[in-house]
Structure formats: C-alpha cells, structure tokens
Chains A and B, each alone.
Chain A
Amino acid sequence: DTEVTQTPKHLVMGMTNKKSLKCEQHMGHRAMYWYKQKAKKPPELMFVYSYEKLSINESVPSRFSPECPNSSLLNLHLHALQPEDSALYLCASSQPIIRGYGYTFGSGTRLTVV
C-alpha cells in the first residue's frame, strides 16, 4: 500500500460548525504533515508530526487543531473557521531519515467555508 488516503474529499461547513479532516497511511512512515493550498498557489506547511509528536507548528491559528492518534492516522479538527480558510488541505507522509525523502501526498480535502 503506497497511498495516503484523505477523507472527506469535499467538505462544506458553516463558520460555527465543528468538523474534522482525516488522513491515513500504511507505509510505515513516521512523519506526517498537513499542508494548506490556495488556488494557483504552492502548498504551505501547517503542521509536522514526527513519531506521533507535534514537531512543527507554522504559527497556525488555534481554530485548526491537529491530532495524531497513532502512527498511521492524522486528524485536523476545524472549529469557527473563516471564509478565507477555504482551500485544498493536503496530508502527506514521509520517512524521517537524515537525507531528503520524497513526501507522499494524499489527494486532499477541498474545504469550503460559508
């Protein structure tokens, strides 16, 4: 299994809603990431988990709350989002080795905040 699976593929939520994005991989990768991508822009890093511990938080607003329940799962909890948070949310995983290693990205969740 060489995939990163993200659910749901599409999500529409109101500004008062609470929702969660899910990401799963079974490649044995011990690093997992959340990226945000706006239209016609490159992906921007939000969070990095290494061995199920949060290692990087790129000053993301607290309305985004990541969680890594185990080495295969990564969640992103959403609460009180703003319309400008509408974007493609990408999950990725990689092996945490010394040399650079290509991430495997999921297909993303297209989030629309209304």
Chain B
Amino acid sequence: EDQVTQSPEALRLQEGESSSLNCSYTVSGLRGLFWYRQDPGKGPEFLFTLYSAGEEKEKERLKATLTKKESFLHITAPKPEDSATYLCAVQAVKFGGTSYGKLTFGQGTILTVHP
C-alpha cells in the first residue's frame, strides 16, 4: 500500500527564517510526487511535480527536491503570505491502469510565518 508521511505536523517560523518540510514516501513504482499548497477553506493549489530522484524545481521562495525515499520543500526567507498547509502526494505506477489518476496524500504540514 502506498504511504506518505509528512513532518513536522506544524512549523512556526519568523519572517525571513528559512526551513524545510519533509515528505517520506513508500510506493510501488513512483509515477510522480506532487507538492500542493492549501489555504483554509480552499482547494489545493498545485506547486510542483517531481518524477525522478535528483530532480529539483523552484518557484519564488520555494524549492522542491526528490530522493528515492523522500522529498523536501525548502522555503527561503519566508513571508507571512507563505502561511498555509503544504500537502505532499504520490502517484504510483500500477499495471492494468486501476490506479490511474489516484493521488495518495500525506497529512500535511501547517506552516505559520510570523512577521
């Protein structure tokens, strides 16, 4: 069974204090690992897709990296508007297509950035 574990559950930072969020995963063949941002009462907002170990992607103050067992979301010099829940999800490769389109999400990390 595919599993995704995110840590920490909650993270409080001061504005400008860089840090990282962790996503550990177990999947029988990784098709893709996804990072999303979710604000309260809203749908998740797509950030990144990573496909293979060693891959990195950046967007503004965010940088996502991937190894064979985990992914990190690095936040550089965060601002209060970066406060949100960050979700990690994996999509597995399965024969027969029965897992087509299914994302398995982690529990999320609630990030709070204080001014």
Question: Which of A's residues lie within 8 Å of B, judged by CB?
Answer: 4, 6, 31, 33, 41-45, 48, 50, 55-56, 88, 90, 92, 94, 96, 99-108, 110
Contacts and interface: CB of A to CB of B under 8 A. Distances in A.
B45 interface: yes
A56 B33 CA distance: 20
A104 to B, nearest CB: 7
Interface string B5-43: 000000000000000000000000001111010000111
Q: Is the interface of A mostly helix, strand, loop or mixed?
A: strand
Interface of B: 31-34, 36, 41-46, 48-49, 51, 87, 89, 91, 97-103, 105-108
B105 A96 contact: no
B101 A56 contact: yes
B5 to A, nearest CB: 11
Given A42-B108, A55-B97, A56-B98, A100 B31 contact: yes
Given A43-B44, A100-B51, A103-B46, A31 B32 contact: no
Among B99, B100, B103, which residue has the most Cβ atoms of chain A within 10 A?
Answer: B103
Given A99-B31, A100-B91, A101-B32, A55 B100 contact: yes
Given A101-B32, A105-B45, A43 B105 contact: yes
A48 B106 contact: no
Contacts of B97: 55
